[in-house]
Structure 1
Amino acid sequence: MANILEGLTVIDLTQNVAGPFCSQILGDLGATVIKIERPGHGDDTRHWHPPLWGEESSTFLALNRNKKSVCVDLNDPVGQEIVQKLCETADIFVHSLKPGSEESRGLGYEQLSKNNPSLIYASISAFGDVGKMKNKPGYDPLIQAYSGIMSLTGNEGDAPARVGVSIVDMATGMWCLIGILSALQHRHQTGEGSKVASSLLETGLAWTTLQLSTYMASKRLPRKWGTGMATTVPYQAFKTKGDQWAIIAAGNNRLFSALCEALDLQHMVDDPRFATNSARVEHRKEVQELIEARTVTYDVDDLVALMAKYNVPSCPINTLDRVLKDEQVHALNMIKDVEDFRVEDFRIVDLPFRINDERGHIQSLPPLLGEHTDEILRSLNLTEEQLEHLQQASVVR
């Protein structure tokens, strides 16, 4: 798996989260990723701290392994020519420049594909590359708000809440990757390159597929359900001793019956208010109160163990310290220690899939700003004198 994309070269003009996550996966799968950064500043996430890990941003370190950092000024015509030259022999070009600004720098699809017809050209934007909002900037929380995700998140009556992880950013990187891999298959079949376009807003809309479909069918706006969901009860968090919480997901009558037996609530099974899922949805509050009156008498781990005994799906609501100590998490080997890196005790979160029982491969660790500028520019047959001139002119760093 480590070499599945070996031999492919990616020119990466992305920053922040979505694009770097996409290109990091390409690097994990064996592609050579050349990350173009602004001289003297680099990717914005290099400055997203605290927290620092060692002396570097933990956000940048999380999203930029398996890449080479090259500092080029894209506002300088000579810098633009350098990137154009790199794209002539590249397989994939991915950018997150504002729609229109790539063309003004000579880095549009038509411009680059003219000299490299087999190029896979991928773009990531906030609101898409069409429509009146195409030039507006956007970040994960803006799109969670604009796409309706925030209106669905949290408990009824609470203020709007953001999903706690960068779900729109990282998923956009994944959708862009899916587009790139599909375009690579098309190129394998035809020899032709393709233009792949993705956006945060499209991702946000995709995440609300079920809720949008429900609203279009019913014309009723969905409520916030907290840890639960509209169509199934009990299917939510219940309080345990010590203000701990456990999720219990009894998604059918058989599981509900087993849950009632485990908690000595057998009378609920024959109660007409709770006999079917539809009835339980209608009497949601009563179901919650009766079950939680039992769950609060258990320690969270004891409750989860009891549920397991009766084959009722359940788990604790873990904090991240518990996650890192969890036996099943360790069995999956997704959290990996890294030795001999400039950051002490550095660890990575690996790819969440395996091919032939193998995950990705750490070819190189997150680069210092401009660490590979000279190496990559020499591959363009620039002389030492030309390199020195470019550096003195601050075109490269």
Structure 2
Amino acid sequence: MGALSHIRVLDLSRVLAGPWCAQNLADLGADVIKVERPGAGDDTRHWGPPFAKDPKGRDTEESAYFICINRNKRSITVDISKQEGQDIIRQLAAESDVVIENYKVGDLAKYGLDYESLAKIKPDLIYCSITGFGQTGPYAHRPGYDFIIQGMGGFMSVTGEAEDVEGASPQKSGVAIADIFTGMYATTAILAAVVHRDQTGEGQYIDMSLLDTQVAVMANVSSAYLTSGEIPRRWGNASPIIVPYQTFPTSDGWMIVGAGNDGQFRHFVTAGGEAHLADNPLYLTNPDRVLRRKQLVPLLEAMTRKKTKGEWIALLEAANVPCGPINNFKEVFENEQVIARKVQIDVPHPTVGSMKLVASPMKLSKTPVEVRMAPPTLGQHTNEVLHERLQLDDASIAQLKERGII
């Protein structure tokens, strides 16, 4: 039994931030019911290719995007624009501990499914809203997209090749970090609210904003600006305060070297057959190397190109120089540490057969995370949930389907 096996979650969210949060709760044991639009479902069901293939190698309707954020959930389809659909959601909310939604500000109030309305039915309800800009402020009604938030929140101003590199420009992250981090913060906030409810009996409303989150996770970069007043700049893969602490080309790929002190720098260049660089008075100390990075780095790059990535990693690990490869995803999932930690798992699925997933990184000794269900097909559990939670019989469910409510 998971740590949250006593918790029921009604997930009205779609796309990424909300589903990521709900999946975290589901991985920890919560019973999560994902509510989707009849016939269409979560937008991410259609974001592809790639789509998972069935045992005969044919594409299914299960997109890789949807798969990564919806395991351990039960899917039901409900049309909340219709009165009977709204009634179903209200009844399910009355039986739930947590509601998660990421509709535009005010949208659910039109259907009587906002926090104020549902709290009248269940006063101890924990209700989490996730939006681009939060429930207040001049931007509250704007739609929020991760890419735009990365730009507005400062992330892209410090990400990308250094500003003095020809053709350099700001870059977004390779994954939707504003969404992912907001989902993680929402998970933490919900767990705190559950503890508060268990101690006091009080439910509460949680207002999560992608922009708030993006600024917060800039961490030391935000703090550096607030402390100094100096606007942070892009440094590419280099450090503004340590040299060498960056990526380096090898004869067959790239690696990362983090020589954080003078001794490690000496071991690095000695391993590459260029020990004289450590004795050069121009590069003796880290401040010297930072001051003369434009002269030093090309010399180091010429050195690192003489060996393969594997040869360098072996040499530098033996010399206790912090280093690592830049793996493609084939290399990631073939890595012996990734295999040993069982990061990739296989679970049965009704159309795919055996579905490959990335395991949750949360490893608890007493209440371990487990994958109880693969990401659901659209509406896979509608009948089951309506029987179980609302005690509807087959005839009543059939009528709801005929009228397009579910």
Deviates more, 1:2-11 or 1:28-37: 2-11
1:32-91 deviations in whole A, cap 9, x for unaligned? Answer: 101110111110001101111121211111111111111111111221111111111211
Provide the secondary structure at the position in 1 that maps to 2:5. Answer: coil
Q: In structure 1, what is the equivalent of residue 342 of structure 2? A: 333
Q: In structure 1, what is the equivalent of residue 215 of structure 2? A: 205
How high is the TM-score relative to the length of structure 1?
Answer: 0.95
The question of whether the paired residues in 2 share the 8 Å contact of 1:350 and 1:359 is answered with no
Counterpart residue type for residue 15 of structure 2: N
Counterpart residue type for residue 80 of structure 1: Q
Q: 1:382 to 1:357 in 2, by over 3 A?
A: closer
Deviates more, 1:112-121 or 1:87-96: 112-121
Pick aligned residue for 2:308 from 299, 306, 319: 299
Once residues 372 and 66 of structure 1 are traced to their aligned partners in structure 2, the CA distance between those partners, rounded to angstroms, is 12
Deviates more, 1:173-182 or 1:371-380: 371-380
Structure 2 segments unaligned to the other structure (5+ residues): 54-59
Pick aligned residue for 1:158 from 168, 174, 192: 168
Counterpart residue type for residue 202 of structure 2: E
- Runs of 4+ in structure 1 over 6 Å off: none
Q: In structure 2, what is the equivalent of residue 17 of structure 1? A: 16
1:149-176 deviations in whole A, cap 9, x for unaligned? Answer: 1121110242332111121111111110
Q: In structure 2, what is the equivalent of residue 380 of structure 1? A: 390
Counterpart residue type for residue 395 of structure 1: I
Tell me the percent identity.
40
How far 1:339 moved relative to its partner? 4.0
Deviates more, 1:364-373 or 1:38-47: 364-373
Once residues 354 and 197 of structure 2 are traced to their aligned partners in structure 1, the CA distance between those partners, rounded to angstroms, is 41
Q: In structure 1, what is the equivalent of residue 298 of structure 2? A: 289
Once residues 365 and 289 of structure 2 are traced to their aligned partners in structure 1, the CA distance between those partners, rounded to angstroms, is 44
Q: In structure 1, what is the equivalent of residue 98 of structure 2? A: 92
Q: In structure 2, what is the equivalent of residue 261 of structure 1? A: 270
Pick aligned residue for 2:116 from 110, 113, 123: 110
Once residues 34 and 239 of structure 2 are traced to their aligned partners in structure 1, the CA distance between those partners, rounded to angstroms, is 42
How far 1:275 moved relative to its partner? 2.7
How far 1:292 moved relative to its partner? 1.4
Provide the secondary structure at the position in 2 that maps to 1:121. Answer: strand
Once residues 84 and 345 of structure 1 are traced to their aligned partners in structure 2, the CA distance between those partners, rounded to angstroms, is 36
Deviates more, 1:273-282 or 1:64-73: 273-282
Q: In structure 2, what is the equivalent of residue 137 of structure 1? A: 143
How far 1:329 moved relative to its partner? 0.7
Once residues 222 and 169 of structure 1 are traced to their aligned partners in structure 2, the CA distance between those partners, rounded to angstroms, is 23
1:169-210 deviations in whole A, cap 9, x for unaligned? Answer: 111111100001111111122121121221211121122222
Once residues 213 and 7 of structure 1 are traced to their aligned partners in structure 2, the CA distance between those partners, rounded to angstroms, is 39
Q: How does 1:226-245 map to 2 (within 5 A)?
A: 226-242=236-252, 244-245=253-254
Provide the secondary structure at the position in 2 that maps to 1:363. Answer: coil
Once residues 256 and 345 of structure 1 are traced to their aligned partners in structure 2, the CA distance between those partners, rounded to angstroms, is 48
Provide the secondary structure at the position in 1 that maps to 2:345. Answer: strand
1:280-338 deviations in whole A, cap 9, x for unaligned? Answer: 22212222122212111001100111100100011111111111111111111111122
Once residues 360 and 211 of structure 2 are traced to their aligned partners in structure 1, the CA distance between those partners, rounded to angstroms, is 24
Once residues 385 and 287 of structure 1 are traced to their aligned partners in structure 2, the CA distance between those partners, rounded to angstroms, is 77
Matched, 1:58 2:64: yes
Across the aligned residues of Structure 1 and Structure 2, the Cα RMSD in angstroms comes to 1.7
Provide the secondary structure at the position in 2 that maps to 1:338. Answer: strand
Q: In structure 1, what is the equivalent of residue 26 of structure 2? A: 27
How high is the TM-score relative to the length of structure 2?
Answer: 0.92
Provide the secondary structure at the position in 2 that maps to 1:259. Answer: helix
Once residues 395 and 272 of structure 2 are traced to their aligned partners in structure 1, the CA distance between those partners, rounded to angstroms, is 79
How far 1:269 moved relative to its partner? 3.1
Provide the secondary structure at the position in 1 that maps to 2:68. Answer: helix
How far 1:216 moved relative to its partner? 2.8
Q: 1:3 to 1:217 in 2, by over 3 A?
A: closer
The question of whether the paired residues in 1 share the 8 Å contact of 2:343 and 2:358 is answered with yes
Counterpart residue type for residue 328 of structure 2: T
The question of whether the paired residues in 1 share the 8 Å contact of 2:343 and 2:361 is answered with yes
Q: In structure 2, what is the equivalent of residue 177 of structure 1? A: 187
Once residues 135 and 64 of structure 1 are traced to their aligned partners in structure 2, the CA distance between those partners, rounded to angstroms, is 27
Counterpart residue type for residue 233 of structure 1: V
How far 1:367 moved relative to its partner? 1.1
1:209-268 deviations in whole A, cap 9, x for unaligned? Answer: 2222222333332222111121221110011113x1110011122322322332233333
Q: In structure 1, what is the equivalent of residue 332 of structure 2? A: 323
How far 1:382 moved relative to its partner? 2.6
How far 1:271 moved relative to its partner? 3.5
